[in-house]
Amino acid sequence: MRLTPGATLGVLGGGQLGRMLALAAFRLGLRVHVYAEDATEPALQVTARGTVAAFDDNDALDAFAAAVNVVTLEFENVPKATVERLARKVPVRPGAAVLAVTQDRLHEKRLALELGFETAPFVALEGGALPRELVPFPARLKLRRLGYDGKGQVRVADRAALEEAWRSLGGLPAILESEIAFRRELSVLVAGRPQGEVVCFPPAENHHVDGILSETRAPAAIAPETASRATAIAERLADALALEGLLAVELFEAEDGTLLINELAPRPHNSGHWTIEGCLPDQFEQTIRAVCDWPLGRPRAIARCRMVNLLGDAVLDTERWLREPGARLHLYGKEERRPGRKLGHATVVEPLA
């Protein structure tokens, strides 16, 4: 089903990604209805239509489905039952099959290997007993489900530290993966339209501090050959998933140049914020085009950008960014300031030479 301007886009999740998605949707003449679990969430501040309810509130879900023409999500951990219930009444893009993979790190890694791509060496941990064969240490122990911004994972120096580390994560199903001495971290965003058209954004280079994205530089200053290998991986994943919407693919470029798939996110991504100023179309518009089944844009970088996340108290430093030549400040309207919480970002824009 293809949407016409004036239709209503439903967004599951009320965070900053939903807020920026809504702002892009308004520019394209859409109405937006946000479904969020908490009344203080940032996307609700910019939309006239909103539902505040739990993801398992069936009456609220049915009313939401009746009020919108298509549903997308800004948060991939929406329960499967929620998506399936909505999907009986309205298209949900990306759908349950994509979420089944991207909600579980083990499924993501298995898909990567099935397609002939590489990941860090890993083993799955499940059910109490440790497997005999582990992976080279140091390693990262990561819960299979529900991790973000470095939460739900711990660094493990050696085998002796593993049991305690796993206990600290509640002994839930996890994967243990070797730490990669990467040359750089890259991410590629890819959009897929219901009939199968697939288009990538130029890769971005990311710097994390304590497991949280700190800065993105884009387009990444990498050889064209590396960029085309990265985009080929993203396109193949989008095809394999029959992607309807946007997918972010996080990659490690190993010292020998191999690209390893780290993880996937089926939604706009923090490392794509640079596209708001630096690329036409931006990631939010492209998501909307994909889920409305409109022609996808052919992303073209129009500037070189440095995107800086404003985490916790860094958000108090607004003056610095307001004074910085060529910078644009984005604040998310979050009420509570906590260390490490994403409260805004600034993008410093330099026109392409």
Site for ligand ATP in 209-248 (CB under 6 A): 211, 213
Considering only 82, 102, 262, 309, the residue that binds ligand ATP (CB under 6 A) is 262
From CA 134, how far away is CA 126, in angstroms rounded?
13
> Is residue 36 a contact point for ligand ATP (CB under 6 A)?
no
- State yes or no: residue 104 binds ligand ATP (CB under 6 A): no
Q: What is the spatial distance between Cα 88 and Cα 13, in angstroms, rounded to a whole number?
A: 19
107 contributes a contact to ligand ATP by CB under 6 A: no
Choose one: 38-46, 148-156, 160-168, 278-286; the region binding ligand ATP (CB under 6 A). 148-156
Distance between CA atoms of residues 135 and 169, nearest Å: 19
177 binds ligand ATP (CB under 6 A): yes
* 340 near ligand ATP (CB under 6 A): no
Q: How far is the CB of 202 from Mg ion (least distance, A)?
A: 19
How many residues bind ligand ATP (CB under 6 A)? The answer is: 18
Backbone angles phi, psi at 91, to 5 degrees: -60, 135
As given in the structure block, the two tokens for residue 128 are: 């109490």
3-state secondary structure of 92: strand
Q: Which of 283, 246, 284 is nearest to 266 (CA)?
A: 246
Number of residues forming the site for Mg ion (CB under 5 A): 2
- For position 185 contacting ligand ATP by CB under 6 A, the verdict is yes
285 in contact with ligand ATP (CB under 6 A): no
Residues in the chain: 353
* Contacts to Mg ion from residues 223-282, by CB under 5 A: 250, 263
Q: CB–CB of 251/188 below 8 Å?
A: yes
* Shortest Å distance, C-beta 222 to ligand ATP: 17
| Termini Cα distance of the chain | 41
Applying CB under 6 A, the span of 18-26, 57-65, 149-157, 325-333 interacting with ligand ATP comes to 149-157
Residue closest to ligand ATP (Cβ) = 208
Answer with the entry of ligand ATP, Mg ion, none that 134 interacts with (C-beta below 5 to 8 A by kind): none
Q: Where are the alpha helices (DSSP H) in the chain?
A: 16-27, 58-67, 80-87, 96-102, 105-114, 162-168, 224-240, 275-278, 283-291, 318-323
Interface segment toward ligand ATP; rule CB under 6 A; list 21-29, 47-55, 140-148, 343-351: 140-148
- Cis geometry, peptide bond prior to residue 219 (ω within 30 degrees of 0): yes
Query: For residue 46, which of 72, 26, 76 has the smallest C-alpha distance?
Result: 26
Give the amino acid at 66. A
180 binds, among ligand ATP, Mg ion, none (CB under 5 to 8 A by kind): ligand ATP
Asked if 297 touches ligand ATP (CB under 6 A), the answer is no
SS3 content of the chain, % helix, strand, coil (to 5): 30, 30, 40
Specify the 3-state DSSP secondary structure of 18: helix
Work out whether the CA dihedral 142, 143, 146, 151 comes out positive or negative. Answer: negative
DSSP state of 313: G
Which of 126, 179, 215, 239 contacts ligand ATP by CB under 6 A? 179
Residue with Cβ nearer Mg ion (78 or 261): 261
Instruction: Give the torsion through C-alpha atoms of 14, 19, 24, 26, to 10 deg.
Output: 80
Amino acid in position 152? G
In whole angstroms, the minimum distance from the beta carbon of 211 to Mg ion comes to: 8
Rule CB under 6 A: say whether 147 interacts with ligand ATP: yes
- From 250, 277, 282, 285, residue interacting with ligand ATP (rule: CB under 6 A): 250
Which partner from the list Mg ion, ligand ATP, none does 149 bind, CB cut-off 5 to 8 Å by kind?
ligand ATP
Contacts to ligand ATP by CB under 6 A: 120, 140, 142, 147-151, 177, 179-180, 185, 208, 211, 213, 250, 262-263
Contacts to Mg ion by CB under 5 A: 250, 263
